[in-house]
Chain A
Amino acid sequence: MVIGDGGVSRQIRWAWVALAAIPTVFLGYFFVYPLVRILILGLSEIQIGASGLQARLIKVGWFTLWQAGLSTVLTFLVAAPMTWAVSRFNFTGRRLAVALITVPFVLPTVVVGTAFVALGWRDSLGAILAAHVFFNIAVVVRTVGSQWRRIDPDLLNAAATLGATPLQILRKVTLPLLKPALAAAASIVFLFTFTSFGVVLVLGGFQYATLEVEIYRQAIVLFDLPLAAALAIVQLVGVSVALMLYARYQERHSATWDLASDASIPNPAGKALVGVYTIVGATVIAQFIPLGTLFARSLGSYGDLFAGDTILGGPLPAIRNSLLTAIAAASIAVVIGLIAAKIVTARAGMLSMTFDTILMLPLGTSAVAIGLGFIIALDWPFDLRASLLLTPIAHALVAIPFVVRVVLPTMRSIDPELADSAATLGASPWKVWRRIELPLISRALLVATGFSLAISLGEFGATSFIARPNTATIPTLIFRFLQRPGPQSFGMAMALAMILALITAGIVLWLDSLEAGDIGAF
Chain B
Amino acid sequence: MLEVEALSVEIDSKLILDTVDLNVGDGEIVGLLGPSGSGKSTFLRAVAGLVPPTSGRIVWDGQDMTGVPTHLRRFGLMFQGFALFPHMTVAQNVGFGLLAGAGDPGVAWALEWVGLGGFGERTIDDLSGGEKQRVALARTLAPNPRLVMLDEPLGALDRNLRERLVSEVTDLLKSRNVTAVVVTHDRDEAVAMSDRLALINEGHIVQTGTWEEMQRNPRNEWAADFLN
Contact = CB atoms under 8 A, between A and B. Distances in A.
Interface string A184-211: 0000000000000000000000000000
12 contacts: A2-B63, A9-B67, A415-B81, A417-B83, A421-B79, A421-B83, A423-B49, A423-B69, A423-B70, A424-B77, A425-B96, A426-B74
Interface of A: 1-9, 12, 415, 417-418, 420-429, 431-432, 435-436, 439-440, 522
Interface string B28-70: 0000000000000000010011101000000000011011111
Of B64, B71, B85, most buried by chain A (CB within 10 Å of CB) is B71
Nearest to B95: A425
A417 B80 CA distance: 10
A131 B85 CA distance: 48
Contacts of A5: 67
A102 B98 CA distance: 49
A2 B70 CA distance: 14
Closest 8 A/B residue pairs (Cβ): A425-B97, A6-B67, A423-B70, A417-B83, A421-B83, A424-B77, A522-B86, A423-B71
Nearest to B136: A421
A12 to B, nearest CB: 7
A440 B70 contact: no
Nearest to A415: B83
B87 A439 contact: yes
Interface residues of B, number: 31
B96 A440 contact: no
B63 A1 contact: yes
Contacts of B97: 425-427
A6 B66 CA distance: 7
Nearest to A5: B67
B76 A12 contact: no
Nearest to A430: B71
Contacts of A420: 45, 48, 50, 70, 77, 79, 83
B71 to A, nearest CB: 5
A435 B92 CA distance: 11
B143 A425 contact: yes
Contact of A421 (B67, B72, B74, B77): B77
B139 interface: yes
Nearest to B70: A423
Given A9-B67, A423-B50, A435-B96, A1 B83 contact: no
Contacts of B63: 1-2
Contacts of B64: 2, 4
A12 B81 contact: no
B81 A424 contact: no
Given A415-B83, A440-B87, A424 B75 contact: yes
Contact of B85 (A3, A6, A436): A436
Nearest to A419: B83
Contacts of A436: 85
Given A420-B79, A420-B83, 20 more contacts: A2-B63, A4-B64, A4-B67, A9-B67, A417-B81, A420-B50, A420-B70, A422-B85, A423-B48, A423-B50, A423-B70, A424-B71, A425-B71, A425-B76, A425-B143, A426-B72, A426-B74, A427-B97, A428-B71, A429-B69
A159 to B, nearest CB: 43
Contacts of B145: 424
Contact of A8 (B52, B67, B86): B67
